[in-house]
Amino acid sequence: MKTENNLFWDGIKTPLGNMILVWDQESLITVGFKETSNLLYYKNAQKKECPEQFSKAFEDYFKGDIHALENLPIKQKGSSFYCRVWKELRKIPFGETRSYSEIAKAVGNPKAVRAVGTANAKNPHTLIVPCHRVI
């Protein structure tokens, strides 16, 4: 079982500002802008240079390769409902949007519109899980 001692973090510069990435040996745990980063939850993560796999993907994304983040390995840490929502968000094609209602129906709970909004707001993988495509 992994502990926080097996977690690492680094900051990367992007055109939108500094981002913080937290990862373990296999996957990104959280990605966020420095000001709103989930790093506070990973205080024992060790500072380490960001793996090229991650930094290059973000660099390519900001250079215009809209598919650069699609295959990054992530770990979803949240309730089963939140994880279903986040998985559904990753299915939204580029250039398209979905409503909270559409996502709620897609995850099998059409009345959970507000809960979808909450899950969307708590997305720990900025840009990778496209919460910005939900309106």
Question: Which residues are designated catalytic?
Answer: 131
Closest C-alpha to 133, from 69, 58, 81, 57: 69
**CA dist., res. 72 & res. 135, Å (int):** 24
The three-state secondary structure class of 38 is helix
Closest C-alpha to 81, from 114, 115, 110, 111: 115
**CA dist., res. 112 & res. 121, Å (int):** 14
